[in-house]
Chains A and B, each alone.
Chain A
Amino acid sequence: MIELQNVSKIYNQGDITEMCLFDNFSLTIPDGQFLSVVGSNGSGKTSLLNIICGSIPIEKGKVIIGGKDITKVPEYKRYRTIGRVYQNPAMGTCPSFTILENMSLADNKNKRFGLTSGVNKKRIDYYRSELASLGLGLEDKLDVKVGSLSGGQRQAMALLMSTLTPLEFLILDEHTAALDPKTAEIIMELTDKIVKEKKLTAVMVTHNLRYAVDYGDRIIMMHKGQVVLDKENGEKERTQVKDLLTIFNEISIECGN
């Protein structure tokens, strides 16, 4: 379970550009829930993810994961149970490493990074089968540098790498936004498959309202650091893209756009 309790986040505090994004914000994401977050730019979607992962500090409130208060825990330690995929495909892989080296690195998460061989030859078959499940032919390119792969291939790698080892939470930060529609579709289906197979608690930020409607079991819409729409289960299933668009437009008119 991920809980945000009375979180306040102020950007540029004490500066003339000071901006309070979250004021007493609370959100609870139960175990096993696949939550989609939508909202306009600057509504606080990505900040929400950054607060969960500890990438940015908060001024007030608590972040609780699995019953433990992790507000003071540094970012890197939180990733012991969290996997994260970013909007930019380059963020999730090491470009100068081969596919094999990238897989080996990810495979060793939460184990000791000692002075034993970085690539475990016994695991190569396992990597191959995992890569084959992506259906992109990467299983035959183990010695190719990831930097020379396409954005879609790299994003698929990033998704696979972030979920290779046992984990509880998956954070998806507009992870299909930089991809072409077809690749985005493949990655989205893959994401759904992994979340279901591994029974993950997932938070997905997306601008694609159709994905938000089609995937996951809860949808929230953010605006100016607040949840303006929150639907789950049956209610969520009845929600359609055009309903979301209507609310979107109302918000936009409010803002004078």
Chain B
Amino acid sequence: MLDLFIKTVTQGLIYALLSYGIYITYKILDFPDLTVDGSFPLGAAVTAVLITNGVNPYLTLVIAMAIGAVAGLCTGIIHVKLHVRDLLAGIITMTALFSINLQIAGANMSLLGSDTIFSLLPLGDMGLIYRKLLVSFVLVLIFKFVLDLYFKTKNGLLLRGTGDNENVITTLAIDSGNMKILGLVIANAFVALCGAIVCQEQRAFSATMGTGQMVFGLAAVIIGTTLFKRFSFVKGTTCAVMGSIIYKTCIQAALSAGLPANLLKLITAVLFLLILIVGSIGHKGEARS
């Protein structure tokens, strides 16, 4: 029981990295970025191929991030420079990535028997469950601090300002389009990182593993921000992490309760709706007081 709880939290933590990405595109830039469904398996494909070829699993994370960033760059350029609508720009990149991912990986891959970031750490005979928890916790924490710090820098202010009021950024003589591209680059680097770690965790790359990731990330971010926005000291990144853990816990609870997986999506949708309703009720209450 405790093991399952730890595993579920670990899942939430790993996917929190994806939530960071969605937090940047959706919450900060107000950009519904469907690239995610393609850049997530992109990270997985890159890490799978590199590990199979004997590259250090940690190094593969860095490379996956860099390549994910390129995917974000593509969507950004398609949207900003070629003036394609945000949703469509993401769909175009996502579609292209489906083929690209298969070109990279060949076909679905199994990583069983290979070393991963979890197994490589010199932690003695610590069990895999705890290794996964530790590694994902440390990664999530490091990137949380990095992001929080970044959002406070001048450049971070610009990025947040671009989503908050693009017009202000333009009158500051800054090309807000470039800021959007930057946001997409950072976000998709995180998404690809998450894909790479998930691939190492479940030790398989599958071409369709990206399906629904954007929706998951949206749900996680919205759940997190809706539940915790009342507490002004809770940062957006923390909300993204909490949302991700809550989402994965709900799924695991439903699974453990013996609900058929085919119904899970429906349950997710209902849960999502409930949280949105509860959130908006809270909003009205705030407005009255």
Contacts and interface: CB of A to CB of B under 8 A. Distances in A.
A and B touch in the complex (CB under 8 A): yes
Interface of A: 74-80, 82-84, 86, 90-97, 101, 104-106, 108-110, 112-119, 161-162
B172 A105 contact: yes
16 contacts: A75-B170, A76-B175, A78-B173, A90-B165, A92-B167, A93-B165, A94-B161, A95-B164, A96-B160, A97-B161, A106-B172, A113-B154, A113-B155, A114-B153, A115-B150, A118-B154
Interface of B: 150, 152-158, 160-161, 164-165, 167-168, 170-176
A83 B171 contact: yes
A85 B155 CA distance: 23
B173 A76 contact: yes
A145 B69 CA distance: 32
A79 B174 CA distance: 8
Q: Which of B154, B161, B176 has the most CB of A within 10 A?
A: B154
A109 B169 CA distance: 9
Nearest to B232: A145
A116 B154 contact: yes
A115 B155 contact: yes
A65 to B, nearest CB: 13
Contacts of A86: 167
Contact of B154 (A84, A95, A96, A115): A115
Contacts of A115: 150, 153-155
A168 to B, nearest CB: 13
B167 A117 contact: no
A114 to B, nearest CB: 6
Nearest to A102: B168
Contacts of A94: 160-161, 164-165, 168
A119 B152 contact: yes
A79 B158 CA distance: 16
A105 B153 contact: no
**Nearest 3 A/B pairs, CB to CB:** A118-B157, A94-B164, A79-B173
Nearest to A105: B157
A83 B172 CA distance: 8
B80 to A, nearest CB: 12
Contacts of A110: 173
Given A79-B173, A80-B173, A114-B153, 7 more contacts: A79-B171, A94-B160, A94-B164, A94-B168, A109-B172, A110-B173, A117-B153
Contacts of B157: 97, 101, 104-105, 113, 118
Given A76-B176, A83-B171, A110-B173, A91 B165 contact: yes
B172 A84 contact: no
A119 B164 CA distance: 17
B168 A113 contact: no
A118 B175 CA distance: 18
Given A112-B154, A114-B153, A117-B153, A162 B165 contact: no
A90 B164 CA distance: 11
Given A91-B165, A94-B165, A97-B161, A79 B156 contact: no
Chain A CB within 10 Å — which of B156, B157, B176 has the most? B157
Nearest to A165: B172
A149 B87 CA distance: 33
A106 B158 CA distance: 10
Contacts of B156: 118
Contacts of B167: 86, 91-92
A82 B176 CA distance: 17
Nearest to A83: B171
Nearest to A80: B173
Contacts of A119: 152
A80, A92, A118, most chain B CB atoms within 10 A: A118
Nearest to B167: A91
Contact of A114 (B155, B160, B175, B176): B155
B164 A77 contact: no
Most-contacted residue by chain A among B155, B164, B171, B175 (CB, 10 A): B171
Interface centre among A77, A94, A106 (most CB of B within 10 A): A94
A162 B171 contact: yes
Contact of A84 (B152, B164, B171, B175): B171
Nearest to B174: A76
B168 A105 contact: yes
B221 to A, nearest CB: 15
Given A74-B175, A79-B173, A118 B152 contact: yes
A104 B172 CA distance: 12
A119 B160 CA distance: 14
Contacts of A83: 171
Contacts of A104: 154, 157
A77 B153 contact: no
Contacts of B158: 105, 113
Nearest to B28: A96
A77 B173 contact: yes
Contact of B168 (A78, A92, A112, A117): A92
